[in-house]
Amino acid sequence: MLKIEKRAVDSRWMQLGSPLIATVLTLITGAVLFAALGHDPFNALYTFFVLPVSDLYGVTELGLKVTPLLLCAMGLMLCYQAKVWNIGAEGQFVIGALGGGIAALYLPSLGAASLWVTLLFGILAGMAWSALAALLKTRFAANEILTTIMLNYIALNLMLYAVHGPLKDPSGFNFPESAMLPANTMLSTLIDGYRLHVGFLIALLAMVSVWVVSARSMIGFQIKVLGEDERAAAFAGFSTNKLVWYVLLISGGLAGLAGIAEVAGPVGQLNPYVAAGYGYSAIIVVFLGRMNPVGILIASALLALTYMGGEMAQMQLGLPKSLTGLFQGMLLFFLLACDLFISYRVTWSQMKRVEV
Amino acid sequence: MTLSINKKMAAFSVVAALGLTACGKAPETAEAPAAAPEAAAETAAPLKIGFVYVGPTGDAGWTYAHDEARKALEAKYGDKIETTYVESVKEGADSERVIGQLARTGNDLIFTTSFGYMNPTLKVAGMNPEVKFEHASGYKRADNMGTFFTRAYQGRYLTGLVAGSMTETNVIGYVASFPIPEVIRGINAFTKGALEVNPDVKVKVVWASTWFDPAKEREAAETLMLQGADILTQHTDSAAVVQAAEAKGKFAIGYHSDMAVYGEKAHLTATIHNWEPLYTAKVEAVLNDTWTSEDLWPGIAEGTTDLAPFADVVPAAVRELVDAKKAALKAGEMRVFDGPLLNQAGEVIVAEGETMEDGALLGFNQYVQGVEGALPKN
């Protein structure tokens, strides 16, 4: 009979193999699903996964969607390595967008420097928001999962208040939107006529920087020790509180940067829809990418692709939107299920016949 | 150990083989659908029309009403047009990609049907001058981007007459989405109607802060019923409010589309949008090469706003009154916001003998008398 038993050591082979098996299983199940819906499975999978990125437009759009995911996810990676469960990237993203947006709209123009001021305000605003969670955790031992989730709601409602109230575009017929950002506070696009902007490069830079911090610095080492064993970290003389502050501030700053990059990039104004759930999706991305920068880059591209594929499937094949969710769910399910094989293995064992 | 590896390898090769056969078999069948559209294109190039929806097409509501009009277009024009829609497109950065993709894949006319699509549509319109865009409910236009909306507030006023006549508690509940002029205008028109037939009536508003979230909408409806409302209406996209009223044995007035199936006992009538005349006119204009960018605001007279059939419980006298007022609106003998119109503080907004101009209607940002509570604003 089938038996699942724990491996003595995690299988390195399966660490690479599990996402591959999961992808293959998703493709097969997807093909069956499409066939059941009366579509040619190959064509449907092609439409879902290849067509969205088959031209420069698609590739740049993918990069555009990866940018905020990557920025949020890299910060979260540091937090989760330290086992600081920051669920608040969404709120930090929104506050970053708000803080940076206010700076862009209301500070006197500094010419080309205005962009940098805008981005800086976005980062600082995001950091300030995560600092609240850090303060509550280190000072009052408040659980960061709860505080960061609650701060998300406060952030979103602050944004709603701002665009329904003081920041409302005076010539906007009372619609809940700010005026458009001045041109000198906007991130320039990388290629004319496409939306991909400098923020993408900043996100890649951030990815490498966080990687270096995590893998090559003393702080990174301390973060990992803290995550593995808090008591060991204390015995080694690391300041737990300081590390909590570090990871939350970096994470908040990056999420804030993601928020303002979205506003100063494709959106161009403050409105209630700036928060598109990137902060939450980034959590999935971190775990999907196994808390590894390259993995996270691939995972954010994959997640972005499923969204774009879903749109493409609607446009080209008339498939319903819910299929996108189904597909994402399936992919995650298979990935998590296949992860079982990293620490466990399935064996056959002969049942002994009991003679009666 | 070796045995288990072998078993595993065997399992892998099965999986791999399955994958290969799936991939290997498919291309042959893939040829057919790829070839078909080209052949069709040779005989006659249909006008390609794209639709971007903010919610699911579903069975009722805002997006449903748009999709019904799309289906009507398909039925009417057959092979002459080809429609594509994308549903549940988030307002914001994602919508620009979808609109852009529709423009790039050869759609000649694109309807974007939510306010949050305004700036994205404008940007895509700038980059695709040969494509024509129609945006619902916005105010920014371009040479190849027109705007349209419907005077839904006329229907609101008429349903307000129904609610004002039929309430016993004199409290009517209104589940609203966001305090933008369109929504405030609807609340005011509804309240004005209710007040005309019942001077003691109060309209209570709860802001659900969402366009589409059945759970939140229902919660807001429950709150209003706890506060004594015996008739509910909503300015959100789902039928949750009607369902909540049905469950508690109260009355409800639907919005966007006929929601009678969601409240067999509760549903009195509904303000409905019928985009078909407007869509048809726009498609006709593109087919005849007479399309221009304009701002259209039709209503009861043009048929884009209408009422759903009355439920049996609506008394004959009320029906007669509503029908008479509807005819008067249609004929242009009266307008919804004819004076005297007072705000909550009792100050005159529109004097007797005057009416509210469209400009003021578009920027409506205060409650009229009869609405309870303060408008959330700065």
DSSP assignment string, A234-280: HHTT--HHHHHHHHHHHHHHHHHHHHHHHIIIII-B--TTS--SHHH
Q: Nearest Cβ partner of A269 from B19, B115, B119?
A: B119
A324: its two tokens: 């996108």
Residues A20 and A168 both lie in one domain: no
Question: Is there a domain that residue A353 lies in?
Answer: no
| Residue B315 DSSP symbol | -
CATH homologous superfamily of B152-273+305-372? Response regulator (3.40.50.2300)
Domain boundaries, chain B: 47-148, 152-273+305-372
Question: Is there a domain that residue A347 lies in?
Answer: no
Residues A72 and A221 both lie in one domain: yes
Interface list for A 169-198 with B (CB within 8 A): 172-177, 180, 193, 195
Residues A190 and A214 both lie in one domain: yes
What residues are paired with B146 via a beta bridge? B134
Give tens-digit pLDDT for A305-326. 988 998 998 888 888 888 878 8
B47-148 and B152-273+305-372: same fold? yes
Residues A96 and A241 both lie in one domain: yes
A172 contacts on B by Cβ (under 8 Å): 139
Question: Is there a domain that residue A46 lies in?
Answer: no
- Whether the pLDDT of residue B19 is over 70: the answer is no
Q: Least CA distance to B116: which residue of chain A?
A: A273
pLDDT at B44 (0 to 100): 65
Q: Where are the alpha helices (DSSP H) in A37-55?
A: 41-49
In angstroms, the Cα distances linking A188 to A55, A264, A265, A274 are 21, 9, 8, 19
* Helix, strand or coil, per DSSP, at residue B256: strand
Question: Is there a domain that residue A5 lies in?
Answer: no
Residues A22 and A78 both lie in one domain: no
- Whether the pLDDT of residue B18 is over 50: the answer is no
Residues A330 and A311 both lie in one domain: no
The per-residue b/e assignment along B72-84, b for 16 or more CB within 10 angstroms, e otherwise, is bbeeebeeebbbb
DSSP string covering B131-191: SEEEEES----BTTEEEE---HHHHHHHHHHHHHHH-SSSEEEEEES--SHHHHHHHHHHH
Residues A236 and A334 both lie in one domain: no
Q: What phi, psi does A43 have (nearest 5°)?
A: -60, -40
Spatial distance between the Cα atoms of A283 and A287, rounded to a whole number of angstroms:
7
Question: Is there a domain that residue A124 lies in?
Answer: yes
A165 contacts on B by Cβ (under 8 Å): 377-378
CA distance B25 to chain A (A): 9
pLDDT at B363 (0 to 100): 85
Q: Is the pTM of this model over 0.90?
A: no
Residue A8 pLDDT grade (very low, low, confident, very high; cuts 50, 70, 90): confident
Q: What phi, psi does A186 have (nearest 5°)?
A: -95, 140
- Whether the pLDDT of residue A30 is over 60: the answer is yes
Residue A172 pLDDT grade (very low, low, confident, very high; cuts 50, 70, 90): confident
| Pick from B64-73, B115-124, B209-218: least confident | B209-218
Q: Nearest Cβ partner of B86 from A25, A173, A311?
A: A311
Range of the domain at A201: 61-315
Give tens-digit pLDDT for A284-310. 899 888 889 999 999 999 989 988 998
Question: Is there a domain that residue A68 lies in?
Answer: yes
Q: Is 0.90 exceeded by the ipTM?
A: no
Q: Nearest Cβ partner of A345 from B4, B27, B365?
A: B4
- Whether the pLDDT of residue B28 is over 80: the answer is no
Residues A147 and A130 both lie in one domain: yes
The number of distinct structural domains making up chain A is 2
Give tens-digit pLDDT for B301-339. 999 999 999 999 999 999 999 999 999 999 999 999 998
Spatial distance between the Cα atoms of A262 and A274, rounded to a whole number of angstroms:
7
Here the CATH number for the domain that contains residue A172 is 1.10.3470
Residues A288 and A214 both lie in one domain: yes
Question: Is there a domain that residue A355 lies in?
Answer: no
Query: Which among B160, B213, B163, B218 is positioned nearest to B189, based on CA atoms?
Result: B160
Interface list for A 284-343 with B (CB within 8 A): 307-308, 311-312, 314-315, 318, 320-322
**pLDDT, average across residues A196-219:** 95
A42–B119 CB contact, under 8 Å: no
Residue B30 pLDDT grade (very low, low, confident, very high; cuts 50, 70, 90): very low
Question: Is there a domain that residue A118 lies in?
Answer: yes
Q: Where are the alpha helices (DSSP H) in A82-171?
A: 89-106, 113-140, 144-164
Give tens-digit pLDDT for A110-124. 988 999 999 999 999
Q: Nearest Cβ partner of B87 from A160, A172, A314?
A: A314
Alpha-carbon Rg for chain B, nearest whole angstrom, is 25
Residue from B25, B31, B180, B367 whose CB has the most chain A CBs within 10 Å, to mutate: B180
Domain B47-148: which CATH number of 3.40.50.1000, 3.40.630.10, 3.40.50.2300, 1.10.530.10: 3.40.50.2300
B365: its two tokens: 């940002």
Spatial distance between the Cα atoms of B368 and B345, rounded to a whole number of angstroms:
9
Residues A91 and A216 both lie in one domain: yes
- Whether the pLDDT of residue A265 is over 80: the answer is yes
Residue B155 and residue B306 in contact, taking contact as beta carbons nearer than 8 Å = yes
